[in-house]
Amino acid sequence: MAKIIDGKSIADEIYRELRKEVSTLKDKPGLAVVLVGDDPASIVYVRNKERACKRLGLNYKLLKFPQSISRDELLSSIRTLNEDREINGIIVQMPLPKHLDAFDVVSNIDPLKDVDGLHPDNLGRLSSGKPRIIPCTPLGIIELLKRENIDIRGKNAVIVGRSNLVGKPLFHLLLSLDATVTVCHSKTIDLKRETSRADILVCAVGVPRLITVDMVKEGAIVIDVGINKVEDKLVGDVDFERVKEIATFITPVPGGVGPMTVAMLMKNVITAYRLQKGKV
Domain of 71: which CATH number?
3.40.50.10860
Determine whether 49 is an active site residue: yes
Query: Among residues 93, 113, 168, 224, which one is catalytic?
Result: 93
What CATH number does residue 148 fall under?
A: 3.40.50.720
Active site residue 116: yes
Task: Tell me which of 80, 96, 112 is where a domain ends.
Answer: 112
Compute the distance between CA of residue 106 and CA of residue 99 in angstroms, rounded to an integer.
14
Q: Does residue 84 lie in a domain region?
A: yes
108 plus 142 within the same structural domain? no
CA angle, 111 as apex, 109 and 113 as ends, to 5°? 75
8 Å CB contact between 250 and 2: yes
Per residue of the chain (280 residues), what is the pLDDT tens digit?
999 999 999 999 999 999 999 999 999 999 999 999 998 889 999 999 999 999 999 999 999 999 999 999 999 999 999 999 999 999 999 999 999 999 999 999 999 999 999 999 999 999 999 999 999 999 999 999 999 999 999 999 999 999 999 999 999 999 999 999 999 999 999 999 999 999 999 999 999 999 999 999 999 999 999 999 888 899 999 999 999 999 999 999 999 999 999 999 999 999 999 999 986 6
**Residue 178 neighbours by CB distance under 10 Å:** 12
Among candidate residues 110, 114, 116, 199, the one labeled active-site is 116
Domain contains 233: yes
**Do 53 and 154 sit in the same domain of this protein?**
no
Domain around 178: 136-258
Q: Respond yes or no: is residue 276 known to be catalytic.
A: no
Output the pTM of the full model: 0.95
CA 72 to chain centre: 28
How many domains does the chain contain in total? 2
